[in-house]
Chain A
Amino acid sequence: MDRFLFLTVDGLARGAVLAAFALSLVIIWRAARIVNFAQGAMAVATTYIAFTVTSATGSYWLGLASAVAAGLVLGTLVERTVMRFVGNTSPLNSVIAGLGLLLVLQAVLGMIFGNGYRAMEIPFSSSPISIGGISAVSPYDLFIFVCIAVIVAGLGLLFTKTPLGLRLRAAAFAPDLAQLLGVRTSRMLTLGWALSSAVGALAALLIIPTELGLNPHALDTVFVYAFTVAVVGGLDSAGGAVAGGLAVGVVLSWVSGYLGATLAPIAVLVLLLAVLLLRPAGLFAMTKERTV
């Protein structure tokens, strides 16, 4: 029973970081109907900035702030210089543009920072606190949970309670109509990219210390799992991303713990298939299915 608890809690912690990254994919999907394959590389780039700032100043929090700021800037840049000009002849084109950007970013990061891994500092201990003999979550896990709660709540408020959020949603769902009604859709699109990239930056900063460390490829597998998480949850739903993340995290942990780590990717595939067979557009799909 102890082991079950341990594995579950570990899986939830792992799932939380996947959820954080999946959120950034959900935001960009909602804003632009694009799965951004460059998201991982963009987030790694901002994490390098945070790493440089933290190394120079000694402050984790300054690094965190600069990562989020860099995320806003990078998202804006990518939208304004590349994505805006990708023709809409086929949704595939934005996928390919994202892949092209991914290659460029990873190569440039490799040139500047080298291929080695760098250890990253974390602001809280990652040793689990033991309560009544059962080791539970670590302070760092709690920090991650809090960050995610803040992101989800913030996004929820932004999208449902503010005029800006309304315009963002309008621009995404009915761009032509929104434009007629005076919403500056192109500005909304840029804002969506900036927001998504900033959330991605924050997520990367939380995740990378729990992974092997900072490297141009640090988020390759995270991106794959996060995409899976977003699909399990339903790409339109922030709550779905969190639920999907926790589900995938727990499945990974249970399978690794009881059946062997080798089987974990197969288990994720099975989970994904099971969810999609029951609900073809994810757990938290909107009732009315939209064609893409």
Chain B
Amino acid sequence: MIAAHKRWDFAFGVLGMLALMVGVLTFAALFVEMIINGAPRLSWDFFSQFPSRKPDQAGILSAWVGSTLVMLVTAATAVPLGVGAGVYLEEYAPRNWMTDLIEINVTNLAGVPSIVYGLLALGLFVYGFGLGQSILTAGLTLGLLILPVVIVATREAIRSIPIAIREGAYALGATKWQTTADHILPYSLAGIMTGVIIGMARAIGETAPVITIGALTFIAFLPQAPLTGDPPAGLFDWIMSPFTVMPIQMFNWTSRPEAAFHQNAAAAGLVLVVMTLSMNALAIYIRYRLRKNIKW
């Protein structure tokens, strides 16, 4: 009878491995399929040309420039706000109903479908504030979207710092902010970085909210570079420019019937997956190093 029960142990071990394999196989199929279809399209021209009606001349220039600029705005929004909120909740917040309210909201916002953020941005940023379908609108939207990720990562990083560090700083007469800025933040930097990178990796692959604000799918120009052109553009004029991003470009190519565009979609997808995965891998690596090195 014992042997029979032990067989169940073994069977479940096998079942677990099989379940993991489903994930591994799917991922492998996805990756290999995109390499077979997309890799031949990857060339310098693919990165340096605008989208085109002719599939073999189309490239992702406007898409990757757009993605990069949107990510700049997203980082500029989400990092200070997320880290600030995380610091407040861990170091400053008194225990009262207001803090509870904020915490409940952070948890809930993490579960709101991303397309709902798109609707918020459409109603508020695009038409409410009149920012239009610009890089600024997209950056702010994605910034709000990844805010909970940054907040949670910041809080976890700060929480792992022993109280003795704070007490030491206070004992030397440092104020709360001096303690936070000179000790708490530097020590939690690696943890915060992992959160920021994971958040950015998510933002760069987000399609739905950016489509919802009305980003165009066909852009054959770049935003004007600062201080160039006639009349010269201001330092931040690019921020109000129309744009497209990598996932939207891929969506556009995927939803066309011609198979030649599907190859472009595979190539764009490959670039996108490599970007997000390497960001995720970097975050995992930093966390791994962190876990190994810190001994308080």
Asked if A and B are interacting partners, one says no
A residues apposed to B, CB below 8 Å = none
B residues apposed to A, CB below 8 Å = none
